[in-house]
């Protein structure tokens, strides 16, 4: 299969004499789109340009104080820890999943890694099966499969279904070869859509996965940022075949700490063991001070509860306000239900954009950045056709620390609050609306 070209924007490396000796699976890939747009935006800012940074999906919020304090207290931890993770952390993660998701499991079912991204790569390496991903999905799942040499099947989703994967779509893909080994990555709340699945939808998808023995990697890294605060896991409907992927990056503002977690059912212990072998030969173990500190994050409590409550309130109000601004300009966009992404679509503006020489989503994102200083990512990086004028916007360019402090003393989060504390996102979405019309 051909790798999806990575941004910014739609750039793919040339084959040159110098890279001719590279592994064929890597030679056609460029650096990951999310990280490339972040570094590109930083360079533009250093050169004195005004850039609204809606490209990288980095949490705007600080790491909760109690967790930062735990890291200070553990700065002296210096020993290599067990490959699968610090036992106390594995227990805390399992306890968290029991408490929050009502998913059973003990510390022995948990694997800790330096980011869930690394764990996903190792899973794809050890599991011999095709990768199934709904389109659109996050930018790195399929390049990981391509690096390893796995078959990738993008499953096209429909706007009428809110872009959610339908049981019939999964069934249609599996029916022709029912016993083929397959791994489905299901991410909800979704990056890039912001939408999630309700319990009935999860149960129906679980039934199909179960019928064909499809392993589900349930990427729930945005689960705590489900705006209503009642995230559900597909693992409750398909416990024996679901691995829950999560980590600290999104809900605790700790992307740079690099800590990811997998929770396995006992039936998939063989995969966990195989992953631990690869971990022992590659990353060895995850940073010791970080693991000790993160035990505190997974223990929860009132400070972390309040932090999450206010984070969700801000993200919900901001997502709603951006949708209002874009919709008022005739731009199609689904109301986000969780996380900090929106996935607008300029199909209705296709003709006027074509007159300006814009026919693809990479051209659209180039235009937005060049003419309005708004950095976003094209839908093509998420598996959508390049001529669909969709793009992802991460509504994160604001000072989350100030916003959280203010939200704690604020009744309803209204426009005045958003203009004051999330002004750059509001200005950027106004600029997008104006540019497109
Ligand atoms: N998940 C984040 C995003 O989609 C950034 C982290 C990454 O891609 O490694 O923007």
Q: What is the pLDDT of residue 234?
A: 98
Q: Which of 273, 301, 329 is the C-terminal boundary of a domain?
A: 301
Distances from the Cα of 30 to the Cαs of 15, 154, 328, 381, 385, in angstroms? 12, 20, 36, 11, 18
Ligand 1: residue of 119, 139, 194, 219 to mutate (most ligand atoms within 8 A of CB) is 139
Place of tokens 């990512």: 377
Size of the chain in residues: 437
Say whether pLDDT at 1 is over 90: no
Residue that wins the pLDDT comparison between 25 and 108: 108
pLDDT tens per residue, range 274-315: 999 999 999 999 999 999 999 999 999 999 999 999 999 999
> Is the minimum distance from the CB of 140 to ligand 1 under 6 angstroms?
yes
> Is the minimum distance from the CB of 191 to ligand 1 under 6 angstroms?
yes
Task: Give the Å distance between the CA of 209 and the centre of ligand 1.
Answer: 27
Task: Give the Å distance between the CA of 170 and the centre of ligand 1.
Answer: 26
Tell me which residue has its CA closest to atom 4 in ligand 1.
Answer: 57
Q: Which of 251, 277, 301 is the C-terminal boundary of a domain?
A: 301
Q: What is the pLDDT of residue 11?
A: 53
Examine residue 17 and state whether it is found in any structural domain, yes or no. no
Tell me which residue has its CA closest to atom 7 in ligand 1.
Answer: 34
Q: What is the pLDDT of residue 8?
A: 63
CATH of the domain at 95: 3.40.640.10
d(CA 309, CA 408): 9
| Least confident residue range of 17-21, 240-244, 309-313, 423-427 | 17-21
Q: Is 250 found in the same domain as 142?
A: yes
Q: What is the pLDDT of residue 194?
A: 96
Q: Which one-letter DSSP state was computed for residue 369? A: H
Q: Is 230 found in the same domain as 84?
A: yes
> Is the minimum distance from the CB of 250 to ligand 1 under 6 angstroms?
no
Q: Is 246 found in the same domain as 149?
A: yes
Q: Is 54 found in the same domain as 69?
A: no
Alpha-helical (H) ranges within 213-349 are: 269-281, 288-299, 302-328
Give the other-Cβ count within 10 Å of 19's Cβ.
12
pLDDT tens per residue, range 27-52: 888 888 888 888 988 998 999 999 99
Q: What's the rounded mean pLDDT across residues 351-380?
A: 94
Q: What is the pLDDT of residue 225?
A: 97
Residue that wins the pLDDT comparison between 24 and 200: 200
Q: Which of 282, 301, 320 is the C-terminal boundary of a domain?
A: 301
Q: Is 80 found in the same domain as 54?
A: no
Place of tokens 């694997």: 111
Ligand 1: residue of 31, 39, 57, 376 to mutate (most ligand atoms within 8 A of CB) is 57
Ligand 1: residue of 56, 141, 254, 256 to mutate (most ligand atoms within 8 A of CB) is 56
Examine residue 256 and state whether it is found in any structural domain, yes or no. yes
Q: Is 187 found in the same domain as 56?
A: no
Q: Is 232 found in the same domain as 91?
A: yes
Whose CA is closest to 316, among 296, 297, 340, 298?
340
**380, two tokens:** 């093509």
Task: Give the Å distance between the CA of 84 and the centre of ligand 1.
Answer: 24
Ligand 1: residue of 8, 140, 190, 193 to mutate (most ligand atoms within 8 A of CB) is 140
Helix axes of 116-126 and 141-148: crossing angle, nearest 10 degrees: 40
Torsion angle of C-alpha atoms 355, 360, 363, 368, degrees rounded to 10: 80
Q: Is 150 found in the same domain as 268?
A: yes
Say whether pLDDT at 271 is over 50: yes
Say how many Å lie between the first and final Cα of the chain, rounded: 37
Average pLDDT, the chain: 94
Question: Which residues make beta-bridge pairs with 134?
Answer: 155
d(CA 13, CA 18): 12
Examine residue 4 and state whether it is found in any structural domain, yes or no. no
Examine residue 108 and state whether it is found in any structural domain, yes or no. yes
pLDDT tens per residue, range 393-429: 999 999 999 999 999 999 999 999 999 999 999 999 9
Categorize the per-residue pLDDT at 16 as very low, low, confident or very high, splitting at 50, 70 and 90: confident
Examine residue 15 and state whether it is found in any structural domain, yes or no. no
Q: What's the rounded mean pLDDT across residues 318-339?
A: 96
Q: What is the pLDDT of residue 2?
A: 40
Residue that wins the pLDDT comparison between 343 and 20: 343
Tell me which residue has its CA closest to atom 10 in ligand 1.
Answer: 57
Examine residue 10 and state whether it is found in any structural domain, yes or no. no
Tell me which residue has its CA closest to atom 1 in ligand 1.
Answer: 57
**99, two tokens:** 């408490």
Say whether pLDDT at 389 is over 60: yes
Categorize the per-residue pLDDT at 9 as very low, low, confident or very high, splitting at 50, 70 and 90: low
Q: Is 193 found in the same domain as 117?
A: yes
Q: Which residues contact 155 (CB under 8 A, 6 or more apart)?
A: 132, 133, 134, 135, 165, 169, 170, 173
Task: Give the Å distance between the CA of 315 and the centre of ligand 1.
Answer: 17
Task: Give the Å distance between the CA of 352 and the centre of ligand 1.
Answer: 32
Residue that wins the pLDDT comparison between 171 and 4: 171
Q: What atom of ligand 1 comes closest to residue 117's alpha carbon? A: 9
Tell me which residue has its CA closest to atom 8 in ligand 1.
Answer: 34
Q: Is 71 found in the same domain as 44?
A: no
Q: Is 33 found in the same domain as 118?
A: no
Whose CA is closest to 274, among 142, 158, 88, 128?
128
The structure's pTM equals: 0.95
Structural domain tally of the chain?
Answer: 2
Q: What is the DSSP string of 233-255?
A: -GGGTSGGGEEEEEESTTTSS-G
> Is the minimum distance from the CB of 25 to ligand 1 under 6 angstroms?
no
Query: What is the residue range of 429's domain?
Result: 24-61+304-436
Examine residue 205 and state whether it is found in any structural domain, yes or no. yes
Examine residue 19 and state whether it is found in any structural domain, yes or no. no
Q: What is the pLDDT of residue 229?
A: 84
pLDDT tens per residue, range 66-122: 999 999 999 999 999 999 999 999 999 999 999 999 999 999 999 999 999 999 999
H or E segment and range at residue 114: none
> Is the minimum distance from the CB of 56 to ligand 1 under 6 angstroms?
yes
CATH of the domain at 406: 3.90.1150.10
Q: What is the pLDDT of residue 5?
A: 47
Q: Is 158 found in the same domain as 140?
A: yes
> Is the minimum distance from the CB of 271 to ligand 1 under 6 angstroms?
no
Whose CA is closest to 156, among 139, 145, 179, 172?
172
Task: Give the Å distance between the CA of 351 and the centre of ligand 1.
Answer: 32
């Amino acid at each position: 299969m051909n790798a999806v070209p990575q941004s910014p924007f739609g750039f793919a490396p040339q084959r040159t004499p110098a890279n001719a000796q590279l592994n064929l699976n890597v030679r056609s890939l460029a650096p990951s789109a999310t990280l490339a747009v972040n570094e590109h935006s930083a360079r533009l800012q250093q050169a004195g340009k005004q850039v609204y940074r809606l490209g990288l999906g980095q949490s705007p919020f600080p790491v909760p104080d109690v967790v930062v304090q735990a890291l200070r207290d553990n700065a002296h931890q210096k020993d290599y820890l067990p490959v699968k993770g610090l036992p106390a952390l594995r227990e805390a993660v399992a306890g968290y999943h029991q408490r929050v998701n009502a998913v059973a499991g003990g510390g022995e079912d948990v694997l800790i890694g330096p980011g869930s991204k690394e764990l996903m790569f190792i899973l794809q390496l050890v599991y011999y099966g095709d990768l199934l991903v709904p389109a659109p999905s996050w930018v790195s799942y399929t390049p990981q499969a391509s690096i390893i040499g796995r078959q990738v099947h993008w499953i096209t989703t429909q706007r009428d279904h809110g872009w959610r994967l339908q049981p019939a779509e999964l069934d249609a893909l599996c029916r022709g070869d029912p016993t083929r080994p397959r791994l489905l990555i299901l991410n909800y709340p979704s990056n890039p859509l912001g939408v999630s699945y309700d319990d009935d939808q999860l149960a129906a998808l679980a039934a199909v996965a179960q019928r064909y023995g499809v392993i589900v990697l349930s990427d729930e890294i945005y689960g705590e940022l489900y705006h209503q605060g009642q995230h559900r896991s597909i693992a409750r409907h398909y416990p024996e075949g679901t691995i829950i992927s999560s980590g600290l990056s999104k809900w605790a503002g700790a992307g740079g700490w690099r800590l990811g977690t997998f929770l396995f059912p006992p039936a998939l212990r063989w995969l966990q063991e195989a992953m631990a072998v690869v971990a022992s030969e590659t990353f060895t173990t995850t940073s010791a001070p970080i693991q000790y500190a993160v035990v505190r994050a997974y223990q929860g409590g009132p400070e972390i509860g309040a932090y999450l409550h206010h984070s969700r309130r801000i993200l919900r109000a901001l997502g709603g306000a951006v949708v209002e601004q874009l919709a008022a300009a005739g731009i199609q966009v689904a109301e986000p239900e969780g996380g900090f992404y929106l996935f607008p679509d300029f199909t209705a503006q296709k003709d006027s954009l074509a007159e300006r020489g814009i026919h693809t989503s990479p051209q659209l994102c180039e235009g937005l950045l060049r003419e309005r200083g708004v950095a976003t990512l094209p839908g093509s990086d998420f598996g959508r056709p390049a001529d669909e004028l969709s793009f992802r916007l991460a509504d994160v360019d604001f000072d989350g620390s100030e916003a959280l402090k203010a939200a704690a003393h604020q009744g309803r989060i209204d426009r005045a609050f958003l203009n004051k504390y999330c002004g750059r996102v509001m200005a950027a979405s106004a600029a997008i609306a104006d540019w497109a019309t």
